[in-house]
Structure 1
Amino acid sequence: MPRPTTTSGLPSGWLTRCYLLRAADGVAGTTVMYAVPLIILTTTGSVALTGLAFLLEWLPRLLTMVGAGPLVDRHRPERVFAYVCALRTLAAVATGIALLLGDGNAASPVVMGFGVLSGMLTEVSFLTMESLGAHASRHAAARAHGVQTVLVGIDQSALLAGPLLGGVLLLAGPTVLLTVLAALSLLAAVGARGLPATLRAAGSLPKRSSTPWAGLATGCRVIAARPALAWLVASMTTCGLISGVLHVSAPITLTTRFEVSTATAGTVWSTATVPSLLAIAAAHKAIDRYGLWATGLAGAASLSVAALTAALAPSALLYGVALAVLLCGEGVLSVVLRTARARLIPPAVFASTLAVTLLAILAPFPLAGAIIAVLPPDQIPRLVLTCVLLQVAVTALGFRGLWHHRSAYADANTFPSPTRSAETPLRDAA
């Protein structure tokens, strides 16, 4: 992973502390995302319930974004982050107690309920961390992709640690897993309480972004006013569809089609994450040399090839290699997306606009869960092939549009100044 980029105008140690908080929160979030469907699969043996658990875990996340964006915009992100992590700690403790005191029949509803609540809280915490990361990127100016590379590297490391941690802890029981999750969330909550305030206080924002629907409308206006951002979101949405299908189907494919254990399934996914860290580090240098557009196109192409390989893989080994390449492409695209996004979205309405972009990009995840829930396991490869064709078509159009509007995000001077007034970006977005 590349060295953290120096940022001027920020308190000493602020960025490093944000990195540590993001790591703790990321590991907790990815562990829950992977463990909840796996708990359902191991306790019930039902593929349909596993897909349903994934759907129930992701659908509320999308609904949460509608209100979370304006909430983060109107209050300091570090404060919102602390409260969210504290709530997740309480939820993990309560779920663990319920599993200890309840009977076996109540396990699935309790775990699904925790997955829903934890997913909602994870999206809010993600918005806060993205707001802080974008703030650091604006201070880093031309080296913004250095900040985003570190952040994406942390996220990918969390994807490595989360499934592995979840698979190992589940061997000791769900209660042990929930205890570790509570500890990670509590650590993040305590760490965020002492984080120096660097973003605007609530009173400096326009009143019209105070309601969830007003924030949603503001985010839509920002995207509509910036064609480059719209093309970027469209391209990433189809990439998210492939990612969602493979995320929810990978445990099923590994355990049913290739007949590996649940612990091995977690190890395969975690091992596949390791090369993505190298790809993220390479993306930092590739953007320096070739620019955002060419680097993003390479990431999208590798994702398509990987998904095609996963659909046709005859062995668990080749399937694992395909997952590794897929995560490499995801990592490169994440660096490109976040760097361009920080340059294109006005800081005063960053969280509200980010919520809309995430709503579009992550919507395929619950859709993937719903499809997998009703689809026979032997039809999953055909589903992946269909998604690949759709992704290639939309991405080709999207990157064509991004090429025509590359001046909007390729120049570091397109960063909105941190000192601009809150009203100006809103007026520009209208």
Structure 2
Amino acid sequence: MSPRIYGLLLSRFLSALGDQLLLFAVPLIVYRSTGSIRMSGLAFFIEWLPRVLSLPIAGQISDRFGGKRLYIGADALRALACLTVALWVADQHQVPIMAVMLMMGGCAFAYAQAFIALETSLPQLVSPAQMPTAQSALQAIDQTSAIAGPAAASLLMLWLTPEQLLWLTGSAFALSAIGAQCFCPALARPDAKIKRPALWHHWRASGAKVLGHPVLRALVILSVSVNLIAGLALASGAAITLGRFGLDPRHFGSLQGSVGILAVCVLLAVPILLRWLSVYRLGIASYTAIALGGLLMASAANYPLFVLGYAICFAACGSFNVFIRSERLLWIAEAERGSLISLIVLFNQLSLPLAGLLISLADTRHGPQWLFYPASLLACLLILALHPGLHRQAGTARVMAE
């Protein structure tokens, strides 16, 4: 990969760092301001619903206007939203929960645009043979930021409040947008002569292609079950840390940091593991680890066990995503990447706002931990049902044989 690509990866790191700071700060802001697990779940629902529903729009925009401009605009919007709320809090000396939730919704919408822009631009920047390595690099960037973000936030919490962290979040997004403008190579513009169908008809046709394809359909089902477990963990992590176990916000930083450390170790091991395993087998092993991590979180009677289950779950998500991303690119034509990938990610992430909604509606007397039991057991049943057929058809399962 060229030096300019490494510059773009640095820009992506700053964007991912901003995401991590936001994921650290917002749950603490909401729970400390309201003291309610239900409000934490509702905030997570509000954060993820626009992120998910905007994905098909992101695909259309990327296919029509190109990924570079979309990526830069998305991070610029997130920078503006975070810095506006931070300025409001500094001026009014109070936390406007409604403004925080609107900021979350705006950042969620922009996240979807940046995610799809990068996914659709990557095949123009690296060769097919380098794609698993590039995907591993992106996962490593995300997970490295998962260490750096919470670690830096935990240290800064000695002097700053969670609300003041929004200044750093907005700055990270702004630097990411500037870096992408400077380092991103010139990409081929979408062919303006291609006649594209109306949005609704396009979604319906894309949905039929995804759900009618046996491999893509199986990948969606597995991803939905994984994201339900991850969504429950993300939506309840701050509330369980501060409420269930009675710890302070710095312990929430250790929770997030432990995830990043283990996840980076796993992703650094991916190229080595792929010498003996197919991408498919790595994906199935990662999926199994996520389900086991969910069961451990459900049964954890003390905080270290909860942290262990949380870390196993999210560390395995990184290597599972390497499999998902590598496999689906084998079945999607280049001209349809933006549209189909955006719709696939929409299906995959529908369980994230569902997780927030489940927590907001759950019986608060027993806490949210019990919800991990049905989610993890469902994941186990799905892999038992889908594995035989998927193993026969998956392209990544045949790489080692070839």
Which residue in 2 is equivalent to 1:367? Answer: 354
Instruction: Give the counterpart of 2:64 among 65, 69, 74.
Output: 74
For residues 195 and 343 of structure 1, do their structure 2 counterparts lie closer, same or farther at Cα, with a shift above 3 Å needed? Answer: farther
Query: What is the 5 A alignment of 1:107-122?
Result: 107-122=96-111
Percentage of identical aligned residues: 23
1:326 alignment partner, SS class: helix
For residues 161 and 340 of structure 1, do their structure 2 counterparts lie closer, same or farther at Cα, with a shift above 3 Å needed? Answer: same
CA RMSD of aligned residues (A): 2.3
Structure 2 alignment gaps of length 5 or more: none
Counterpart residue type for residue 86 of structure 1: A
Q: What is the aligned length?
A: 399
1:176, distance to aligned residue in structure 2 (A): 2.8
- Deviations along 1:151-183, one digit per CA (max 9) or x if unpaired, are 111111222233344445555135531221221
Query: What is the 5 A alignment of 1:1-400?
Result: 6=1, 12-102=2-92, 104=94, 107-137=96-126, 139-141=127-129, 143-169=130-156, 172-204=160-192, 206-208=194-196, 211-224=198-211, 226-375=213-362, 376=364, 378-400=366-388
188-197 or 242-251, which deviates more:
188-197
1:19 alignment partner, SS class: helix
- Deviations along 1:102-125, one digit per CA (max 9) or x if unpaired, are 363x61111111111111111111
In structure 2, C-alpha distance between the alignment counterparts of 1:282 and 1:302, rounded to whole Å? 16
Report the TM-score, using the length of structure 1 for normalisation: 0.86
Contact 1:239 1:391 in 2 (8 A): yes
In structure 2, C-alpha distance between the alignment counterparts of 1:176 and 1:205, rounded to whole Å? 48
1:184, distance to aligned residue in structure 2 (A): 1.0
1:198, distance to aligned residue in structure 2 (A): 4.8
2:306 alignment partner, SS class: helix
Contact 1:238 1:395 in 2 (8 A): no
Contact 2:82 2:166 in 1 (8 A): yes
1:172 alignment partner, SS class: coil
1:202 alignment partner, SS class: coil
Structure 1 alignment gaps of length 5 or more: 1-5, 7-11, 415-430
Contact 2:282 2:319 in 1 (8 A): yes
1:305, distance to aligned residue in structure 2 (A): 1.2
In structure 2, C-alpha distance between the alignment counterparts of 1:296 and 1:127, rounded to whole Å? 22
In structure 2, C-alpha distance between the alignment counterparts of 1:82 and 1:39, rounded to whole Å? 27
Which residue in 2 is equivalent to 1:424? Answer: none
1:402 aligns with 2:390: yes
1:411, distance to aligned residue in structure 2 (A): 4.8
